[in-house]
Structure 1
């Protein structure tokens, strides 16, 4: 029997909060559920891509670096800051991508003492293949949903994109 899309719980007012905001404990429960769901989605994607496309062996951290470099070449420090990783961690990941031929070092026109890391044509192909495989996998999974569930997922995308932007911002100092 198909499941119906979950209807959001009504938003109650928190006596200590603003009118129309969920109570603090409800907000924490929503955050817990979202965290759990995102974690399970990432795990399912990683697992299914390895099953459906066994040649795909790049760890997610390397894919994320390739995605960042797709926009423009960057210095290791800039990559580390954008990925919120230690520079030595990024250097290690870059070393593996250099060995695979997916990135190369270029002279930095603004500072000849440093190098920028750039995506190679092979890295672009690898990233495109990875992206297309994931798109096909997700499209297949979306098609398996009931129409109302699929519509709910699609309707949530703009809010999820805004949530991702909010999470990417540095935490405000309190």
Structure 2
């Protein structure tokens, strides 16, 4: 990301998968913005080396700011918070609130159960024609940036768009 001039907007912590991604972006000279609610500062342990840390009052404000500052969303393998944030962005996209690319990084088929559920919902008529979900699925890390760049070109987002991973 850093080598291609892509900034990272994420949840602000220094542990887990996203902490590792943020440190890698920083190690390669990239720009990182962490957005964290006040109540999570002690639980998630802030990554203090980031260029910008924004402390917000609650999760809703965190997600809104992350949405506003991002041009694309990448869901890495994660927990229930990751799932919630991914589905929220998919819902907003489905309802026409944004056209930003949404990508799931499905290493070792991590997201396969969700993709199966989405297919089931479609088959059962709960995702109707005209209200399709728009998302990308990458199976390897190396696919993420090229897929997002292609999607960004198709929808007219500028080159070197900021990426977001809202713990997702």
TM range (shorter): under 0.3
Name the larger-Rg structure. Answer: 1
Higher relative contact order (CA 8 A, sep 6+): 2
Give the TM-score of the pair, scaled to structure 1. Answer: 0.23
